[in-house]
């Protein structure tokens, strides 16, 4: 693999890219274990695919914002390094597939030229900070949350507090009480609020904590009705510090923040968060409200008038895919992108055609589509014609006809069913037989290829996730049917209930049965939630039960959508949360590496970061020694206490105080230069003693 040097202006990014290249080389030379290397690349947005030998690269786009230039660059990168396709995700990222591992540093370097990052797009980190795509132009928003999402992204990327947690951590900012960023299913969800004190406007957020989807969905708990804006960043940091210390690290199925709340109780977790605030880097943090400014509207004075008043499809498109912005005279325009997949040639043509018609600020939506800003009555017909020429003018954005899905078995290791083809079939079916539902935004259909809910099936009114059943001695591709989920508003939501499993080729019948029954039996003005609650879960089980009959299977029902061969549940190892590292030497190496980072950041006067790196060095070294004795500890806090029991109380290691008292000074002291100096000295002394006793030669200079 040829070495290269990036010409980036950001030395931190340059160092990380060169570091990735070095780690790939060491991995190929067998000097970094496979498990360890997996966690290293995941933290840099490089994710193993279902297909051997190639990678999915996830491009992190805070709150889904992408400029024309950036979209063109990502398309060019996909052409050169990937499969000439862009996949828009439900977390407002863009993914490209079939990338060679050896080329990822070069790819990252080219993306960074246009301020695009892969950093911490995967792995046990703070994932992409999402927000309502309408932020900044939403008529119902108290204020634009985009600068707050950007500040959160900037503060926590490359932050030692959340660089290597037990699992991922997700945050969202909704624009209004409509909660279109789904605060209720996030580890931390924020909804903007205003109040007035002595006639002065004060901004803040309603806070939801501990939500999540996956195989066991949890609805978030309300913790603050009004968190002042300058307390936002310190509150998040304190929360992450608690998750890092007390969160599960061995059993990845129990390693999300929602399980920590389940284990300790909400009150205890809130007490820990409050206690941690003394140690946060800042006690207040002023958000730069001008950080994300509104883009310049295009000049439409040279645009010719185009009359499409008699075009019925245009009128439906305008009714279902556009809305009036809070800025008078301007429109937001939604572009439906089926299954979130858009070819690179189409993406380039889209940007070229839009440059004089909308502002240079595209947002990726949570249902895998695009939002354009600052269209006018004059430009709308031209935008429609452009989209129509690119087969992107499908009506009914975010309606029942607009199905959300993950990639499923197309590329994902965990995929069981071909969710993308299932979504296309359902969309075509509704467009042909249930056209009235293109106007219905109160009934959503969402699909995941497995139970992990990347396609958000857990918050769908009608949801499906990939599964399997057995019949005639064969495995049959199946879909778990879920009903009754969705957003209520202002932090409240519903988790869909499991109803029944049916063969995947019968999902169209499920949709048919449910939609027809809803149209026939719903009371006037009764939405789907009210209809579902009135009828009850058992009603729908009986309604759909005939579809689960495996004695009537046709031959093609043994084959999944979009496939020709016999169905197989060829599930690989998922990488969504990284791995648990159990090699003693690797842990000790990591401890030394973190100590080096502590000294580097101390030299830059970043005392809070230096203290946290030193804390991690303590924990990693202690964990290594425990594992060397066959003692497994599932949280950092347990590591600290078990080390006291097995090494200090036994007399093997001696300190002036107990090991927990020494290490946990981190949560009891302000991050001053004086405390950082003493803490680093103690960590250095400990690491040196570990090296001496293990007869190891330090691998870092």
What does the block give as tokens for 574?
A: 């998922």
3-state SS, residue 363: strand
Q: How many helices and strands, by DSSP H and E, does the chain display?
A: 20, 22
What does the block give as tokens for 99?
A: 């990338």
> Structure pTM?
0.91
Angle, vertex CA 692, rays to CA 686 and CA 696, nearest 5: 110
The residues, any chain, with a CB within 8 Å of residue 194's CB and separated by 6 or more, are 142, 143, 201, 202, 203, 204
CB 485 within 8 A of CB 496: yes
What does the block give as tokens for 466?
A: 């990939």
Phi and psi for 491 in degrees, rounded to 5?
A: 95, -5
Domains of the chain: 11-112 (3.90.480.20), 130-279 (3.30.413.10), 312-389 (3.30.70), 404-558 (3.30.413.10), 584-694 (1.20.120.330)
Which one-letter DSSP state was computed for residue 102? G
What does the block give as tokens for 3?
A: 């070495």
pLDDT at 43: 65
Name the residue with tokens 């052409």.
79
- 279 vs 608: CA distance, rounded Å: 8
Angle, vertex CA 42, rays to CA 38 and CA 44, nearest 5: 125
CA-nearest of 470, 469, 493, 495 to 482 is: 495
Burial 4-29 (b: 16+ CB within 10 A, else e): eebebeeeebbebbbebbebbeebee
The 10 Å Cβ neighbour count of residue 526 is 14
59 has which bridge partners? Answer: 94
Which one-letter DSSP state was computed for residue 599? H
- 309 vs 636: CA distance, rounded Å: 65
The residues, any chain, with a CB within 8 Å of residue 640's CB and separated by 6 or more, are 618, 619, 622, 659, 660, 663, 664
Mean pLDDT for back-to-back runs of 10 residues, the chain (701 residues): 41 68 75 67 69 84 97 96 95 93 85 88 91 98 98 95 93 98 98 95 98 92 98 98 95 93 97 97 96 94 93 97 98 97 98 97 97 98 98 97 86 74 94 95 93 89 92 89 97 97 95 97 94 97 96 89 60 42 65 91 96 96 91 94 96 95 96 97 94 66 36
The residues, any chain, with a CB within 8 Å of residue 397's CB and separated by 6 or more, are 320, 321, 334, 335, 336, 369
Burial 482-492 (b: 16+ CB within 10 A, else e): bbbbbbeebbe
Helix (H), strand (E), coil (C) string for 235-303? HHHHHHHHHHHHCCCCCHHHCCHHHHHHHHCHHHHHHHHHHHHHHCCCCCCCCCCCCCCCCCCCCCCCC
What does the block give as tokens for 214?
A: 């996956």
């Amino acid at each position: 693999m040829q070495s290269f040097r990036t010409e980036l202006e950001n030395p931190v990014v340059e160092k990380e890219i060169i570091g990735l290249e070095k780690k790939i080389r060491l991995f190929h030379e067998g000097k970094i274990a496979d498990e360890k290397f997996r966690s290293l690349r995941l933290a840099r947005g490089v994710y193993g695919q279902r297909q051997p030998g190639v990678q999915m690269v996830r491009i992190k786009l805070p709150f889904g914002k992408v400029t024309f230039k950036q979209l063109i660059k990502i398309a060019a990168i996909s052409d050169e390094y990937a499969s000439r396709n862009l996949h828009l995700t439900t977390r407002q990222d863009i993914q490209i597939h079939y990338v060679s591992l050896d080329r990822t540093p070069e790819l990252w370097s080219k993306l960074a030229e246009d301020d695009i990052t892969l950093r911490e797009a995967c792995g046990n980190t703070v994932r992409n900070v999402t927000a309502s795509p309408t932020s900044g132009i939403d008529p119902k928003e108290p204020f634009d949350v985009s600068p707050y999402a950007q500040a959160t992204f900037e503060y926590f990327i490359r932050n030692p507090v959340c660089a290597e947690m037990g699992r991922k951590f997700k945050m969202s900012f909704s624009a209004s009480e409509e909660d279109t960023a789904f605060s209720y299913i996030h580890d931390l969800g924020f909804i903007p609020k205003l109040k007035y004190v002595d006639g002065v406007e004060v901004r803040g957020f309603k806070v939801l904590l501990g939500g999540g989807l996956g195989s066991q969905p949890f609805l978030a708990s309300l913790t603050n009705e009004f968190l002042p804006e300058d307390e936002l960043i310190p509150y998040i940091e304190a929360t992450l510090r608690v998750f890092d210390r007390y969160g599960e690290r061995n059993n990845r199925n129990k390693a999300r923040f929602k399980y920590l709340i389940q284990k300790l109780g909400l009150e205890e977790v809130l007490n820990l968060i409050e206690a941690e605030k003394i140690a946060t880097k800042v006690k207040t943090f002023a958000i730069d409200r001008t950080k994300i400014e509104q883009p310049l509207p295009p000049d439409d004075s040279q645009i010719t008038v185009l009359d499409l008043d008699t075009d019925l499809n245009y009128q439906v498109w305008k009714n279902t895919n556009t809305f009036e912005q809070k800025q008078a005279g301007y429109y937001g325009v939604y572009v439906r992108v089926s299954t979130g997949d858009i070819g690179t040639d189409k993406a380039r043509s889209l940007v070229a055609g839009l440059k004089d018609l909308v502002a240079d600020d595209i947002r990726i939506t949570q249902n895998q589509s695009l939002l354009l800003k600052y269209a006018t009555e004059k430009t709308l017909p031209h935008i429609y014609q452009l989209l129509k020429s690119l087969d992107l003018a499908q009506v009914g954005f975010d309606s029942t006809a607009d199905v959300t899905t993950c990639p499923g078995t197309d590329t994902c290791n965990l995929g069981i069913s071909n969710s993308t083809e299932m979504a296309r079939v359902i969309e075509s079916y509704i467009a042909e037989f249930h056209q009235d539902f293109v106007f219905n935004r109160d009934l959503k259909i969402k699909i995941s290829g497995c139970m992990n809910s990347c396609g958000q099936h857990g918050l769908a009114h009608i949801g499906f996730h990939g599964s399997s059943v057995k019949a005639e001695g064969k495995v049959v591709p199946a879909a778990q049917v879920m009903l009754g989920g969705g957003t209520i508003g202002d932090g409240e939501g519903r988790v869909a209930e499991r109803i029944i499993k049916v063969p995947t080729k019968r999902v169209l019948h499920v949709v048919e049965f449910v939609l027809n029954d809803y149209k026939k039996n719903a009371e006037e003005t009764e939405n789907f939630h009210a209809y579902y609650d009135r009828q009850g879960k058992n009603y729908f089980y009986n309604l759909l039960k005939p579809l689960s009959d495996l004695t009537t299977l046709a031959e093609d029902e043994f084959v999944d959508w979009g496939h020709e061969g016999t169905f197989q549940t060829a599930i690989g190892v998922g990488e969504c949360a990284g791995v648990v590292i159990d090699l003693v030497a690797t842990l000790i190496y990591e401890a030394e590496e973190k100590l080096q980072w502590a000294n580097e950041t101390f030299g830059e006067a970043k005392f809070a970061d230096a203290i946290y790196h030193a804390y991690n060095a303590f924990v990693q070294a202690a964990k290594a020694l425990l594992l060397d004795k066959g003692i497994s500890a599932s949280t950092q806090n347990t590591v600290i206490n078990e080390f006291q029991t097995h090494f200090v109380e036994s007399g093997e290691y001696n300190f002036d105080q107990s090991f927990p008292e020494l290490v946990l000074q981190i949560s009891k002291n302000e991050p001053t230069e004086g405390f950082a100096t003493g803490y680093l000295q103690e960590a250095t002394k400990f690491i040196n003693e570990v090296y001496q006793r293990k007869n190891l030669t330090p691998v870092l200079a």
